[in-house]
Structure 1
């Protein structure tokens, strides 16, 4: 038996062990992902996808050697969930992507151009047909194009230093949103004051980059009445509790041409536009793969889930 054959057998065995682990919780143990009422994939299908990747994809083989196939499986389930949410958002918006456009967009929205040097995302993308990914990302690009420069929001935000405090504050704000300002101003953080009745809109943007930042920031796209506790990105660390108080339609700046925004950037903004449908749709991965984080739109490990995100609906805005 050659070394290459031993390596392949070892990787395939690793895949089988990864997917054959015990499943906990409710739901059909054979189903890998459910979104809304749709059973998107089965555990067997995910296992077959991983096996195929290990046979053909260098990135997957590298992940296997580093004992990170669980991350690959979470990435695949995440992409499946995002695809389903994109399809639903596009359906609601009346967006349809012809085959010819999807084919044409493959070089821009898949492969190295889309993954931007991220080897993990490149491995996940390799698990899906390029034309399928291009179609979903074109739909996201259209959602993004319709959003850039067209929203004004009002919000409160505070910056606790640990997740338990952030989650507890979010619960309190959701239970009594009239006290949001007082609750948030009471949060001790000498480096970052609470933001009360702050606004963001296209009118305050100085250039196209700022318009993209406003439209593409996930917190700025949660439904009105939502209260989110989540980790802050970047070196600063800590957490943010964000309460979306109001949202209005705004006019884009004079002379702004969304067609000048690169397609991939529009697609990234479009992903942020999924927040509304994502927070109102049941997304349920099989527990063996991880837990759905409703804010980051990712399947996360149990360790990540403990300090990932929490989303609540303010009492006054409940139907």
Structure 2
């Protein structure tokens, strides 16, 4: 595992800064060209492009960064290619459990949920927690009671199950693997955005780790670890080995470095992901700054990702050298 982060950043000249921008991810991990056929690569890129286009349309139409983040993540949650919503991985007991968080950079309001099994789109629940409750973080049965009260769509748990994810669980059990995913792919999905008013937002959604036990919660729904947004600095959504991202406070740490040290999104993210690597963790982040700058940083061979902005940029990628 490399400890030096690979980074990509788009920065505009002062007079070319985009009015809006968005970046998305669909998880980081051990992706390699020799293990992914061209057809599979195109499937993932098409799925990413669909989500990216949904978020970009909101921003191009003058919508808010929160709405753009939500629109992109809903598409990713509904797509079984990714470990969130439909297509989420199974716990050791064969259940699909979901975590999500969303944060508004204007006032740092936030909402999150963990351990739900019936909420069709967990990102909608996270936003409702932020807007419609006095709390930030709801869990398991209580979160689903709240979802029902807010008329958020619930589905039969079988909706989330896919044969591919079940096979991964069986493989993990057969090989008596540890707590990590069978393929070392962290399929969390997320989005960060800046709208035409300069407001930023971040959101993250995940099914967690294949074979997770004991009610394990990763970094995705934890504000400051896997998700954070602050208009004074940036918006961050993370994907990776959640235990390490929690220990490093990754999302907040990146924002703090940008705000207090004046570092760029790329420089701050590189430093923090390097710390994660030193602890023994792997993964990546997407970052958006109020000036429209977006950055991807990872210490893995790949991360499903994409970005678009009002200057006409619209691109998706998988591997670290793209």
Fold-level match, TM-score > 0.5? no
- Higher-helix-fraction structure: 1
For the pair shown, which has the larger CA radius of gyration, 1 or 2? 1
- Higher-strand-fraction structure: 2
Higher RCO by CA contacts (8 Å cutoff, separation 6 or greater): 2
